[in-house]
A = this chain, B = another copy of it.
Amino acid sequence: MSSSRPTVSSPSIQQTRSIVRLPSSRPAARSIAAKYRCLPSDFFVRSISGQAPAHQKSWLLSFVYNAAAWLGISVSFVAAGIVGFFIYDASTYKEHSTQSDMDVSQLALQPRRGGPKNLPIAEIFLDDGDNEAKKETIDKPRLVILGGGWGGVAMLKELNPEDYHVTVISPTNYFLFTPMLPSATVGTLEMRSLVEPIRRILSRVNGHFIRAKAEDVEFSHKLVEVSQFDARGEEVRFYVPYDKLVIAVGSSTNPHGVKGLENAFFLKDINDARKIRNQVIQNFEVACLPTTTNEERKRLLSFVISGGGPTGVEFAAELYDLLNEDLTKHFPKLLRNEISVHLIQSRSHILNTYDETVSKYAEDRFARDQVEVLTNSRVKEVQKEKIIFTQKLEDGTIVDKELPLGFCLWSTGVSPTAFSKKLAERLGKSQTNRHALETDTHLRLNGTPLGDVYAIGDCSTVQNNVADYIVTFLRNLAYKRGTDPEKMHLSFSDWRHVAVDIKKRYPQAIHHLKRLDKLFAEFDKDNSGTLDFKELKALLCQIDNKLTSLPATAQRAHQQGQYLAHKFNKMAKLSDGLQLNEVREGDTDAAFYRAFEYRHLGSLAYIGNSAVFDLGEGRSFAGGLWAVYAWRSVYFAQSVSFRTRLLMAMDWAKRGLFGRDLMSF
C-alpha cells in the first residue's frame, strides 16, 4: 500500500527533497525554498522537522507531524484574523470632527403651545431633518409607542422602516432582556449584556426617542402628556401628538397589601439587580467582621425569597450557585455553613403555572440543595430583621411563623402602573378590569376611538367575553329574517355560521369550538333541534369560562408587538387605497387583519445547574447541565442583538474561567 500515501512515500518527492536540500544548507532557507514547492501541511511538517516526513510505518510520528501542521496553520489563520480585526478597528476612529452645517426647524427649537393644558406640543423633533430617511417620514402617520420593553421592541423590530414616523417614549433609554435578570444579580451575567440602547433599535425604522415618563393621554386631542426633569431638577411637561398610539408601559410589582416592603428588594430593572448584588455582598462582608455575633451572622445570611414564580425560583437558584461555587473560594468557610435560603410560596407548589412534573422536579432539586421551600404560606409583614408569615398546614390549620431576615426579595406577580390606572379611570365604564387595561381582540384599547390607541404586554388584557357579544352575532341573522334576536331559534347550520364568526373574532376560543355537533347536542336541552337564546347564551358562557386571561410574560408582549407591527405594515400598504375611496373612519382593523391569537411556545426556568422546560399540552422535560446549555441557547437565540449575544457568550466564558466577581460598587 505504499502508493496510497503519495505525499510521504512517492519516490519523486524524495527526489524533490534532495533537490531542495542540496543548494541550501541552512534549515530556514530550506523551508523557504520548500514553501514554493509543496502544499502547506507538507511545508509545515518539513520546516518544523527539517527532515523528510516519516514513512508509513511510523504512523505515530506522522500523526504528530500532521497535528503540528494543522495547529500551525490554525494559529496562522487566527493571527491573520487578529491582524484583520486591528485593521478594521483602526478604521473606526474618527480623526476629524463630525460637526456639520444643518437646518433645524424653528418649530423644533420653540414648539407652539396647545392642548387642554396649554403645554408645549412636540410636533417637530430636533433630529427630524438629520438624514434623508428621517426627512421622508416627516409626513407619515405619527406612531407613538409608550415603553421600550418586550412589546415595544418586538414591534420596532418588525415594522417597515418607511411607513410611519415612529417615536418611543420611555423613562429608561435601554431595552432590558428581563428573563436573564436573575443571572445579573449574582454576576453570572453582567448588567450591560442584558441591555440594548433603544436608540440603536430605533435606528432601523429611523425613529425618535424621548426619555420621559408618560403621564396622561388626551384621547380626543390625540396627545400624550409626558413629564421629565429639566437640568435644574424641576419637572417639565409637554405633549407629544400621535396618529396611532401603542401603550406598552408594562407593570409594577404587586405589593399584595403587605406591610414593610421598604425592607424588601424587587427585581424589575437593572438598578434593582445592582442593588441586590451590592446588598448580598455587603451582607457577606459584615458577616466576616469580628464584631458580628453568631446570631447576627446567621440573620445576615438568611436569604428569603417571597414568590415561587420563575423570577423567585431563578433568583434562588442563582444565589445558590453563587454560594456554592464562588463564596468559599475567598470568604471564610464558616459563612457557607451558616447560610440559609428560604422560598415562600402562597400556592401549594412552586412554579405553579408550569406542568406538575416540572414543579415537582424543581422542588426536589431545591430540597437536595438545602433551599427551604415553604408552600401554602403568605407573608404578613417584612420587618428589618425578620419576616412574618402564615402557613396553612396539611390538616388545614393556619399557623403563624417567622424567619430571621438578612435579605428579602419580593417577586409576587404584577400590578398596574399609576399611568395604567389613570387611563382606566379616564375611560370609565369601558374599562372594568382592575388589574390591566382592557383591549378587544384586535388589541385596541376599549373606550377609545377605533384604530387610534392600542395596548400590549403586561399593562393590557384581551377581553374575551364571548357571551356579551351574543346580541351582535344574532342581530345579523335576525336582520335577514326580520325577527327579534332574542326570540330566534338557531338551527345547526345557523350555529355553524355563528361559530365561524366567533372564531374570527376570538381566536383564543378556537380550541373550545372543535366539536360543533357535540356542543350543539349538549346545549340543546329540550332536544328541539334548535338552540334558543337561553341555550346559546349558556353555551357561550361555558366557552368564556374556559378562556383564561393571557399570562403576563415577555412571550405574550413579544407576540403582541409583532402582531401590531405586521398589522400596521399591512394597513400602511392599504392606506393609499383607503384615501382614494375616501374611507377615513371605521373598523379598518377588523376588515384588514385577523384578530390577535396567542400561541404558547412553552416556558422554561433555570433551577441551579439544571433547567426545566414546559412546552405546553403536557409536554415537559427537565435535566442537568445539558438542559442548562439548552436553556442558555434559547435565550441566546432570543436575545435582541448581535451585541448582546456576543456579550452574553463572553460573560458565560468569563464565569467558567474566573468565577463570579464578589465585588460591590
A interface vs B, CB < 8 Å?
A: 3-8, 10-13, 15-17, 19-20, 36-42, 45, 66, 69-71, 73-74, 76-78, 85-86, 88-90, 92-95, 97-100, 102, 104, 108-111, 120, 122, 125-127, 130, 172-174, 190-192, 195, 197, 199-200, 202-203, 209-212, 228-232, 236-238, 269-271, 274, 281, 283, 285-286, 288-294, 296, 299-300, 321, 324-325, 328-337, 369-370, 384, 406, 609, 624-625, 628-629, 643, 646-647, 650, 652-659, 661-665
Q: Is the CB of A333 within 8 A of B100?
A: yes
Q: Once the chains bind, are B332 and A197 in contact (CB under 8 Å)?
A: no
Total copies of the chain = 2
Chain B residues contacting A42 (CB-CB under 8 Å) are 6-7, 39, 41-42
Using known A-B contacts A4-B36, A127-B332, A173-B664, determine if residue A228 contacts B89 with beta carbons closer than 8 Å: no
Contact of A665 among B45, B111, B191 (CB under 8 A): B191
- The residue among A126, A130, A655 with the most chain B CB atoms within 10 A of its own CB is A126
Pick the contact of A174 from B199, B212, B286, B663 — CB < 8 Å?
A: B663
Q: Does the CB pair B330–A203 fall under 8 Å?
A: yes
Q: Which 6 A-B pairs give the minimum distances between C-beta atoms?
A: A74-B77, A127-B332, A199-B330, A10-B12, A89-B656, A126-B332
CB contacts (< 8 Å) of A209 on chain B: these are 288, 330
With both beta carbons as reference points, the residue of chain B lying nearest to A37 in the complex is identified as B4
Chain B residue numbers with a CB within 8 Å of A97 are: 324, 369-370
Query: Contact between A290 and B74 (Cβ–Cβ < 8 Å)?
Result: no
Q: Is the CB of A15 within 8 A of B39?
A: no
Most B CB contacts (10 A, CB to CB) among A10, A212, A333, A625 go to A333
Knowing A126-B288, A126-B334 touch, does A197 contact B663 (C-beta < 8 A)?
A: yes
CB nearest to A53 among chain B residues: B39
Which residues of the other chain, B, contact A95 by a CB distance below 8 angstroms? 609, 624
Shortest C-beta distance, A199 to chain B (Å), equals: 4
Minimum Cβ distance to chain B for residue A337 (Å): 5
A49 to chain B, nearest CB (A): 13
Known: A291-B230, A661-B197. A3 touches B12 (CB 8 A): yes
Interface centre among A15, A17, A90 (most CB of B within 10 A): A90
Which residues of B have CB within 8 Å of A270?
665
